[in-house]
Amino acid sequence: MNEKTLIELREDIRSKKISSTELTKFYLNRIRKHDKKLNSFITVTEEHALNRAKIADAEIAKGEVKKLTGIPIAQKDIFCTKGVKTTCGSKMLSNFISPYDATVIEKLNNEGSIMIGKTNMDEFAMGSSNETSHFGNVHNPWDLKCVPGGSSGGSAASVAAGLTPCATGTDTGGSIRQPASLTGICGLKPTYGRVSRYGMIAFASSLDQAGIFARTAEDCALLLSCMSGYDSKDSTSSKKDIPDYLEECRNLNSTKKIGVPVEFLQDLDGGVAKVFHEAVKELEKMNYEIVDISLKSSKLGVSAYQVVAPAECSSNLSRYDGVRFGHRADNVKDISELYKKSRSEGFGNEVKRRILVGTYALSAGYYDAYYLKAQKIRSLISSEFNAAFKNVDLIIGPTAPDVAFKIGEKLNDPIAMYLSDVYTVSTNLAGLPAISIPMGFKNNLPLGLQVIGNHFEESRLLSLARQFQEVTDWHKRQPGEFK
């Protein structure tokens, strides 16, 4: 059962080969059996899931079937869920129970999906390895000594290990695509504004975007159709029409020319380069024209990101002061000490580091030298992407510079950790859609191929991903211990 795709499971439920209750119990049992090794879930919502499954079975019996009726899904613990703990992987929110649902949760619920739990993550989505969580690090199902990537590592690991057929994630600088690459599954980051951010706890508001983990491009297309759309509660959400992504994913064949940025291949690990060039050969066999392009400013992406994102995080996290909600320190003398102790106790080291960097970059004496300059680089990166898409339909490259690294290997080296996102941050700065799909292995660990599209051209990149998966079987591989 855990080898089946979301699309296949949906057909089994609709044809009554299996009930939603049976399917939900199957995944809950796998979580009980395997998650002690992975630590991919913070909260398992068993009672809620089984109640929802009974409702789904009753609806199916009446012939009232929606897009996701009866399908279990894991939710990243950054999305507010009514009546369920929403921690954001932090001590600061370790006991926070949300009074409302995020729009993403609401939309998926309205399509009949069943939340089976909230997944582990880097604290406030700040990290590239899922080692900064207050609830402990997540393990990669391909090698339990390795990280799954971050910040959405819990969602990625749970899908890769077959504990859920799909999961939500968020991507601020690569936090869906990088863990998808490191765990051998598909991870889709939509265009900024395609999916509402309402109820998604903010890290960097101009960069954050909700997205998807699943086994195939078709699964991602189905979920994207359910999650997308304008939301009056999010002023940055787009009013553009939502296409039938699954239909277009299956039938769109307008892509002809694919660009490969030369900057993505400079200094690339030899083993990763070999796997990537083999993937390029597969695309050439499929009659796509592969051309070299240049994105010179992409080299500056990490530097610009590490100013813009901390600056926005500094502002967004100022609300956690021990007064209204979140962790509150005991035995304080005055309001000043309350602020200081609550934030010192509630935040982990990586969050503190980014708050300090962001506050410094926004300060009166350094705003022009750092933040303003980073925003100029951001505009330059966006302009280069726009120019590139006048000549090519899609852009491809490796998702990550290497396979999953050992737990603890980069934890005390923030610069090395930040460089894990070297190929992904530029798309967030430009607000572009991108997907990571499995393209091969190095040292028995998976590697991802990143496909980047122009704004609101998710159907085009999903179509290419589907076609690639028709001629390869990398997405069908599963970690041996969790088959």
Task: Name the nearest CA neighbour of 483 among 135, 121, 33.
Answer: 33
Span 302-324, pLDDT tens digits: 999 999 999 999 999 999 999 98
Phi, psi (5° rounding) for residue 462? -65, -35
Structure-derived torsion over alpha carbons of residues 67, 119, 435, 100, reported in degrees to the nearest 10: 60
Instruction: Compute the radius of gyration of the chain from its Cα atoms.
Output: 21
Q: State the first-to-last Cα distance of the chain, in angstroms, to the nearest integer.
A: 10
CB-CB contact of 218 with 246 (8 Å): yes
All structural domains of the chain, each given as residue ranges with its CATH number in brackets, are 6-243+471-482 (3.90.1300.10), 298-378 (no CATH)
- The SS3 assignment for 313 reads helix
Average pLDDT over residues 379-387: 97
Percent of the chain with pLDDT over 70: 100
Span 456-469, pLDDT tens digits: 999 999 999 999 99
Q: What's the pLDDT score for residue 365?
A: 86
Query: What residue type is 421 in one-letter code?
Result: D
Q: Please identify every residue annotated as catalytic.
A: 76, 151, 175
Q: What angle do CA 220, 223, 229 make, to 5 degrees?
A: 120
Q: What angle do CA 88, 92, 98 make, to 5 degrees?
A: 55
Span 222-236, pLDDT tens digits: 999 999 999 999 999
Span 357-376, pLDDT tens digits: 999 999 988 999 999 999 99
Instruction: Using pLDDT thresholds of 50, 70 and 90, give the confidence band for residue 273.
Output: very high
